[in-house]
C-alpha cells in the first residue's frame, strides 16, 4: 500500500482545480517540468492514471475525480493538525471565536476575558461558505453559526432564535409593512438559493410563479444588499443582519410565515477542553444581545 506524499497531493489538487499544468505551476511557484514529474511520480505510486492529457486540454479520469474528492478533506485535516500542534506549543493562553455577520458576541467574549485576565481572545468574521470550516481547520476554537450546517465532526450547542425578514429596495411597494404573508412575495425575484427559504420556494411553486434566472452566488452580505438596492430582487436574512447593515436605500419587513433563524455555537467534537466547555456555558447563559 502506497504512502501518499502530502506535497504531491497538494500539487495534484492544484492541477485538478486549474486543469492546466502551466497555471497550476504558477500558483504553486514551481517550474512546470517539476510539477509534471511530481504528478507522474504520484500516478506511479498509486498505479493509476489521474489525468487525461493532450495538446489542447487536461481532464480528470475517474480515479482523479475520486482522489480530488478525498484529497481536499485530507489536506484540510493536515493543516488543522499543524495549527493545533503549534497552538499547543504556544500554550492555552489564546482563544479564537468565529462569528457570522450580524451576530454580536461581545458579552460572551468579555465574560470569558473577565474570568481569565491572562487570556488573549481573537475574533474571526466568517461567512456562509466557511462558518464551520474555521472550526474544522483549527483557525477558531469555537464558532457562532447560523443553522443549518453540516454537523459532521462538530459539537453543537443551541443558543437562541431570531426572526427572519425580507430586505427590499426602499421604494418597494411593501416597504414599511409588518408581518407580510409569504404569499405577498411569492412572485418576487429571490436573490438566493430557494432551498435556503423553503417557505418561499414551496409557495412560489404552489402559486406557479414565473420561473426566474438562477441568482448569482454572493459571498458577503454587502454584495447581497447592493443587488437589493439596485432593484434586482429581495433577500431573506435574520433580523440582526438587517438592523446591523441599515442603509437609506433599502428597507426590511417581517414575513409572518418564515421559521426563525437558529443561532448555535459549534466546536470540533474531538476537542474536549475545559475552556471550550466554559465558553459554551457562558454563551448559552448570555443569550441574544438586547
At 142-191, the pLDDT tens digits run: 999 999 898 988 999 999 999 999 999 999 999 988 889 988 888 888 89
**Among 234, 284, 279, CA closest to 263:** 284
Between the CA of residue 23 and those of 11, 12, 16, what are the distances in Å? 12, 13, 11
Between the CA of residue 218 and those of 11, 127, 131, 214, 226, what are the distances in Å? 29, 10, 15, 12, 11
pLDDT > 90: percent of the chain: 52
What does the block give as the cell for 62? 475517474
Given a cut of 50, is residue 1 above it in pLDDT?
A: no
Burial of 95 (0-12, 13-18, 19+ CB in 10 A): buried
What does the block give as the cell for 76? 484540510
Q: In the block, which residue shows the cell 493545533?
A: 84
Do strands 142-146 and 94-99 pair parallel, antiparallel, or not at all (unpaired)?
parallel
The reported pLDDT for the residue numbered 248 is: 94
Q: What is the DSSP string of 63-109?
A: HHHHHHHHHHHHHHHHHHHHHHHHHHHH-S-EEEEEE-TT---HHHH
Cα 52 to its chain centre, rounded Å, is 32
DSSP, collapsed to helix, strand or coil, labels residue 110 as helix
DSSP, collapsed to helix, strand or coil, labels residue 180 as strand
Q: Longest Cα pair distance anywhere in the chain, in angstroms?
A: 66
Helix or strand holding residue 142 (H, E): strand 142-146
Mean pLDDT computed over every residue of the chain: 88
When pLDDT is cut at 50, 70 and 90, the band that residue 219 belongs to is confident
Q: How far apart are CA 145 and CA 102, in angstroms?
A: 11
Question: What domains does the chain contain, in order, with CATH numbers?
Answer: 6-81 (1.10.10.10), 94-152+271-286 (3.40.190.10), 164-259 (3.40.190.10)
When pLDDT is cut at 50, 70 and 90, the band that residue 274 belongs to is very high
Amino acid at each position: 500500500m502506497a504512502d501518499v506524499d502530502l506535497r504531491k497531493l497538494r500539487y495534484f489538487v492544484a492541477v485538478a482545480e486549474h486543469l492546466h499544468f502551466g497555471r497550476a505551476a504558477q500558483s504553486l511557484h514551481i517550474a512546470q517540468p517539476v510539477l509534471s514529474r511530481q504528478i507522474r511520480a504520484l500516478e506511479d505510486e498509486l498505479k493509476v492514471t489521474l489525468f487525461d492529457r493532450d495538446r489542447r486540454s487536461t481532464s480528470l479520469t475517474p480515479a482523479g475525480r475520486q482522489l480530488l474528492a478525498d484529497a481536499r478533506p485530507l489536506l484540510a485535516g493536515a493543516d488543522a493538525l499543524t495549527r493545533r500542534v503549534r497552538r499547543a506549543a504556544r500554550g492555552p493562553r489564546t482563544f479564537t471565536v468565529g462569528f457570522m455577520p450580524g451576530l454580536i458576541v461581545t458579552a460572551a467574549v468579555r465574560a470569558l476575558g473577565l474570568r481569565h485576565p491572562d487570556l488573549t481572545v481573537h475574533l474571526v468574521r466568517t461567512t456562509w461558505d466557511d462558518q464551520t470550516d474555521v472550526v474544522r481547520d483549527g483557525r477558531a476554537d469555537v464558532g457562532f453559526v447560523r443553522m443549518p450546517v453540516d454537523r459532521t465532526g462538530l459539537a453543537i450547542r443551541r443558543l437562541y432564535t431570531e426572526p427572519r425578514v425580507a430586505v427590499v429596495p426602499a421604494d418597494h411597494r411593501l416597504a414599511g409593512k409588518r408581518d407580510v404573508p409569504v404569499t405577498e412575495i411569492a412572485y418576487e425575484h429571490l436573490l438566493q438559493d430557494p432551498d435556503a427559504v423553503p417557505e418561499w420556494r414551496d409557495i412560489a411553486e404552489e402559486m406557479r410563479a414565473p420561473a426566474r434566472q438562477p441568482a448569482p452566488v454572493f459571498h458577503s452580505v454587502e454584495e447581497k444588499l447592493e443587488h437589493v438596492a439596485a432593484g434586482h430582487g429581495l433577500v431573506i436574512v435574520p433580523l440582526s443582519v438587517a438592523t446591523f447593515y441599515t442603509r437609506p436605500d433599502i428597507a426590511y419587513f417581517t414575513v409572518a410565515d418564515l421559521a426563525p433563524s437558529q443561532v448555535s455555537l459549534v466546536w470540533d467534537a474531538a476537542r474536549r477542553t475545559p475552556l471550550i466547555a466554559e465558553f459554551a456555558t457562558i454563551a448559552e447563559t448570555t443569550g441574544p444581545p438586547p
